[in-house]
């Protein structure tokens, strides 16, 4: 049953598509509507249906399913998102409200730190990507005519700023956008956590010198701390490797959780936190030397040194660590045969140098493989005790050499990079300095996975009863479930007062659905507070669904300022409040959730 255009014009716009209302409210038949009441009397019910019931399959969820379903499947069953193809997601009304709340938090903090908002095209030409050496990236969605769907915008924003800025007097500059990005994931998984299309906040900074660039990098990191604090989920910042983005200084932002794909190491001594690609370690005194070692072959940018890394055969090599001793190490050439070919000439070992690097677990007791090229001992140098392998829990920190490393799994939700001149030099982008000379921009880039955050927060905070959103993120801050015998005018008045106070409210007045079932289903949705107005009126019950992050409400309750008490309950934290004090108490409770 579709609602007519005339009916739509006479009433408030529906939150969701009106054409699906007959599917979501099977209890309301066209015959009943035409023979008993006008359509206007059903609008509140329709509005609820198009907001909540659209896409929901809660009836299929029993307690076991709620506990065991993967989070991306739970989000679909509850009507937050819909996934019809791997890596591609449709946003439904509940999910979109959640997403918009996160966008608002991020946008506010970015503006406060002095960033200007832009919106770049999602399509980019190949010429810029070829100049920066990234056109060969296998994860690029390439289109006809040498175009691609952008996974990130370093190339385009650098050209844009280069055209707009000519003098050092116009710097520093920070710009950001929240737009859809695309990555040709070969194995998309976990719904929003690793998709082919995703919503991302990406920001870019441009400075005139290194000191200014590093200061901007720290300023943006401070903005990130404020953003993640506002989201009210415990987070950790970790030292990280910059990877293909570039630069040698970067910070990852994580939520610790057992389902995470990343591994973080934290030192009990210096307190540093690093991801597995950055954390270095040395063996404990009691750890035996490796019995056998492997050798990995690399070269330098100048191709005049053969670099041989020796590491335990049962460990994972991270050749990046060798850059502490060989700054010009070229890791773009990973094919061993291609490296060895450079040094197989009979005269090569006389004119070129061999550098051996030994992991601290490789000692005189370790069996070493033979070198695969001719060599002369007078053309060889050796570095000992250079950590070369990924750390393990219980080993000694490679930064302070005192503390012990503990490992935890985590979900990455943001990353900040100091890029230096990687992109500006490659693209010939810069400005005129005080002396009149052309100088490349000192750049940084800063990303947050906005759609990824929805999935990560849901994953980290969910419990046996379903989702639990922080108050700043939840699609609605308050849910109202009228109890048996509830007066409709009382419900409407309470809802109106809460909305006028700035609290988004979802009322569940579905007919022929018991109060208990509505409470269970709405708990599963994860709204921070549920209000039950019924037989105890003028006293109102408030059930706390969200996770506590503060003690404001405890202090306020003890003060006795309002008619308010905490009551014992087998459903969790529960409060009994006089309706006259409802708005104030709700406000206090939400500050902690």
Output the CATH code of domain 99-254+412-455.
3.30.930.10
Assign 158 to helix, strand or coil.
helix
For 348, residues 6+ apart whose C-beta sits below 8 A from its C-beta are 342, 373, 374
Distance (Å, whole) CA 172 – CA 163: 15
Output the DSSP codes for 6-71.
Answer: HHHHHSPPPSS-GGGHHHH-TTS-HHHHHHT--GGGGHHHHHHIIIIITT--GGG--HHHHHHS-H
How many residues are listed for the chain in this entry?
593
Terminal alpha carbon distance of the chain: 40
Q: What are phi and psi of 460, to 5 degrees?
A: -70, -35
**Kind plus residue range of the DSSP H or E element containing 162:** helix 154-164
Is there a contact between 229 and 236 (Cβ–Cβ < 8 Å)? Answer: no
Neighbour tally for 584: CB within 10 Å:
15
Gap between the Cα atoms of 375 and 28, Å rounded: 86
- pLDDT for 551 equals 74
Whether 330 and 298 have beta carbons less than 8 Å apart is answered as yes
Reported as half-sphere exposure (CB side, CA atoms, 13 A), residue 304 has a value of: 4
| Cα distances (Å, whole numbers) of residue 104 to 205, 290, 528 | 21, 53, 19
Q: Which residues, listed in sequence order, are joined to residue 175 by a DSSP beta bridge?
A: 116, 204
Report how far residue 398's alpha carbon sits from residue 302's, in angstroms, rounded to the nearest whole number. Answer: 29
CA 173 to chain centre: 25
For the chain, 593 residues long, give each residue's pLDDT as a single digit of tens. 344 444 433 433 333 333 333 333 333 333 433 434 444 434 444 445 445 556 566 556 788 888 889 999 999 999 999 998 999 999 999 999 999 999 999 999 999 999 999 999 999 999 999 999 999 888 899 998 899 999 999 999 999 999 999 999 999 999 999 999 999 988 888 889 999 999 999 999 999 999 999 999 999 999 999 999 999 999 999 999 876 665 679 999 999 999 999 999 999 999 999 999 999 999 988 889 999 999 999 999 988 899 999 999 999 999 999 998 999 999 888 889 988 888 877 666 566 889 999 999 999 999 999 988 877 778 889 999 999 999 999 999 999 999 999 999 999 999 999 999 999 999 999 999 999 999 999 999 999 999 999 999 999 999 999 999 999 999 999 999 998 878 889 999 999 999 999 999 999 888 888 888 888 888 999 999 999 998 888 999 999 987 887 777 776 666 677 888 887 667 778 899 999 999 999 999 999 88
Instruction: For the beta carbon of residue 317, count every other beta carbon within 10 angstroms.
Output: 18
Structure tokens at 171: 């710097």
Residues 359, 303: Cα–Cα separation, whole Å: 23
| 307 vs 299: CA distance, rounded Å | 5
User: Could you give phi then psi for residue 374, rounded to 5 degrees?
Assistant: -65, 150
CB contact at 8 A, 9 and 39:
no
From CA 250, how far away is CA 266, in angstroms rounded? 17
Distance CA 253, CA 255 (A): 7
Q: Is 311 helix (H, G, I), strand (E, B) or coil?
A: strand
Question: In the chain, which segments carry CATH 3.40.50.800?
Answer: 478-592
Q: Could you tell me the two tokens for 521?
A: 């289903």
Kindly report the CATH number that applies to the domain delimited by 478-592.
3.40.50.800
Phi and psi torsions of 77, nearest 5°: -60, -30
Residue 215 makes CB contacts below 8 A (sequence gap 6+) with 207
* Pairing, β 564-567 against β 262-267: unpaired
Measured distance CA(334)–CA(327) in Å, rounded: 17
Tokens (6 digits) for 582: 């409802």
In the chain, CATH 3.30.930.10 covers: 99-254+412-455
Structure tokens at 78: 């509850």
**What is the spatial distance between Cα 467 and Cα 523, in angstroms, rounded to a whole number?**
8
Q: For residue 56, what pLDDT is reported? A: 61
| pLDDT value at residue 40 | 40
């Amino acid at each position: 049953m579709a609602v007519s255009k005339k009916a739509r014009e006479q009433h408030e716009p529906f939150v969701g598509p009106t054409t699906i209302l007959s599917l979501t409210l099977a209890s309301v038949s066209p015959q009943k509507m035409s023979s008993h009441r006008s359509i206007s009397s059903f609008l509140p019910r329709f509005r609820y249906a198009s907001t909540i019931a659209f896409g929901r399959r809660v009836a299929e969820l029993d307690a076991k399913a709620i506990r065991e379903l993967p989070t991306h499947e739970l989000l679909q069953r509850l009507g937050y998102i819909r996934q019809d193809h791997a890596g591609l997601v449709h946003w439904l009304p509940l999910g979109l409200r959640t997403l918009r709340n996160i966008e608002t938090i991020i946008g506010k903090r970015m503006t406060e730190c002095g960033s200007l908002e832009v919106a770049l095209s999602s399509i980019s030409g190949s010429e810029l990507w070829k100049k920066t050496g990234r056109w060969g990236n296998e994860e690029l969605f390439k289109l006809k005519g040498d175009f691609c769907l952008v996974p990130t915008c370093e190339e385009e924003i650098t050209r844009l700023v280069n055209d707009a800025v000519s003098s050092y007097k116009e710097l520093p500059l920070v710009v950001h956008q929240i737009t859809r990005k695309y990555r040709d994931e070969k194995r998309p998984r976990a719904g929003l956590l690793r998709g082919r299309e995703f919503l991302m906040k990406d920001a870019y900074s441009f400075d005139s010198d290194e000191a200014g660039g590093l200061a901007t990098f720290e300023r943006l990191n401070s903005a990130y701390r404020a953003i993640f604090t506002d989201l009210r989920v415990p987070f950790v910042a970790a030292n990280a490797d910059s990877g293909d983005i570039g630069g040698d200084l970067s910070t990852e932002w994580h939520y610790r959780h057992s389902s995470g794909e990343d591994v973080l190491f934290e030192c009990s001594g210096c307190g540093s936190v690093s991801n597995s690609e950055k954390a270095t370690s040395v063996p404990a005194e009691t750890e035996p030397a490796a019995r056998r070692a492997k050798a990995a072959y690399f070269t330098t940018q100048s191709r005049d040194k053969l670099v041989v890394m020796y590491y335990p055969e049962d460990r994972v090599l991270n050749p990046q660590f060798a850059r502490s001793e060989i700054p010009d190490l070229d890791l773009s050439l990973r094919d061993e045969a291609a490296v060895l070919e450079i040094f197989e000439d009979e005269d090569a070992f006389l004119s070129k140098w061999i550098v051996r690097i030994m992991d601290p677990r490789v000692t005189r007791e370790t069996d070493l493989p033979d070198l695969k090229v001719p060599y002369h001992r007078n053309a060889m140098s050796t570095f000992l005790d250079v950590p070369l392998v990924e750390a393990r829990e219980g080993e000694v920190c490679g930064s302070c050499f005192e503390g012990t490393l503990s490992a935890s799994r985590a979900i990455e939700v943001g990353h900040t990079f100091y890029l230096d001149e990687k992109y500006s030099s490659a693209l010939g982008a810069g400005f005129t300095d005080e002396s009149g000379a052309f100088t490349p921009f000192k750049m940084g880039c800063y990303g947050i996975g906005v759609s990824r955050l929805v999935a990560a927060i849901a994953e980290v905070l969910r419990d046996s009863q379903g989702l639990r959103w922080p108050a700043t993120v939840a699609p609605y801050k308050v849910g109202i479930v009228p109890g048996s015998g509830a007066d409709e005018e009382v419900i409407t008045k309470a809802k109106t007062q809460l909305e006028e106070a700035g609290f988004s409210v979802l009322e569940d007045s579905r007919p022929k659905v018991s109060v208990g079932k509505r409470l269970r289903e709405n708990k599963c949705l994860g709204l921070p507070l549920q209000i039950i107005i019924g037989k105890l009126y003028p006293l109102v019950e408030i059930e706390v669904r969200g996770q506590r992050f503060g003690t404001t409400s405890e202090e306020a309750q003890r003060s006795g300022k309002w008619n308010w008490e905490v009551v014992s309950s087998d459903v969790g934290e529960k409060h009994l409040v006089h309706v006259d004090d409802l708005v104030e108490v709700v406000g206090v409770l939400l500050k902690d959730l």
